[in-house]
Amino acid sequence: NAGVTQTPKFQVLKTGQSMTLQCAQDMNHEYMSWYRQDPGMGLRLIHYSVGAGITDQGEVPNGYNVSRSTTEDFPLRLLSAAPSQTSVYFCASGRGQSTGELFFGEGSRLTVL
Amino acid sequence: GDSVTQMEGPVTLSEEAFLTINCTYTATGYPSLFWYVQYPGEGLQLLLKATKADDKGSNKGFEATYRKETTSFHLEKGSVQVSDSAVYFCALSDRKGFQKLVFGTGTRLLVSP
């Protein structure tokens, strides 16, 4: 049982480049989300999805796109990377109909030069 | 909007000392409250939770009580171990049925032998 798997674990980009952070879960969770973690600011919600084909914005969505074509996958796309997007990104999933536990991936550290 | 405030760290303790990490929240309605822990190099994992006023969550010797009158959810442990060294996040979610957690900024705990 792999849980939540994120790739890559580390990435260095130049300003203006694009990339996709991959997230996959094997727990059949309806809910998936992306957070970014920055020093002194805790975790902030970027985008989330309550099921396949449904996505919505979180607290800090600008500069990021998401899609949810399957229950298992929830990729996060940076279309034109900026230094302000240097951060650690976490994907998390959970069951859809109750407030409660989120299962987190190990994180992806992104540096934008 | 909803928010969570945690005490700033780092909190530095000797092994077997008593731990308190303060957490207060602001929310409309009656949120569920959580403590998550992040060990070095890992994603967050749920430590304990409480879903209504006066509930006490407990796990691995840690405890926290949902205090509606003081809007608090302080984390306590009677005797910390070196292996408890980690970052602890207080979080809340509303009761609309999904896991849109709002996190505090995190408190780093360092336990020395």
User: Which of B96, B101, B103, B107 is the mutation pick for testing A, counting most A CBs within 10 A?
Assistant: B101
| A104 and B CB contact within 8 Å | yes
With CA atoms as reference, report the closest residue to A44 among B1, B49, B96, B7: B1
Minimum CA–CA partner of A43 in chain B: B103
B35 vs A101, which has greater pLDDT? Answer: B35
Predicted local confidence at residue B38, as pLDDT:
94
Distance of CA A95 to the CA centre of its chain: 17
Residues of chain B contacting residue A50, judged by C-beta atoms under 8 Å apart: 98
The whole-number pLDDT of residue B63 equals 98
From A18's Cα to the closest Cα of chain B, the distance in A is 24
Q: Are A110 and A48 in contact (CB under 8 A)?
A: no
* CA distances from residue A15 to A7, A108, B32, B84 in whole angstroms, order as listed: 20, 18, 40, 39
Return the pLDDT at B104.
93
Of A32-46, B15-29, B36-50, B93-107, the one with minimum mean pLDDT is B93-107
- Looking at the predicted structure, is the pLDDT value of residue B95 above 80? no
Which tens digit of pLDDT belongs to each residue from A54-109? 999 999 999 999 999 999 999 999 999 999 999 999 999 998 656 668 999 999 99
Q: What is the pLDDT of residues A12-54, one digit of tens each?
A: 999 999 999 999 999 999 999 999 999 888 899 999 999 999 9
Read off the pLDDT of residues B43-65 as tens digits, 9 standing for 90 and up: 899 999 998 899 999 999 999 99
Q: What is the pLDDT of residue A2?
A: 76
For chain A, how big is the Rg over CA atoms in Å? Answer: 13
> Do A45 and B51 count as a contact with CB atoms less than 8 A apart?
no
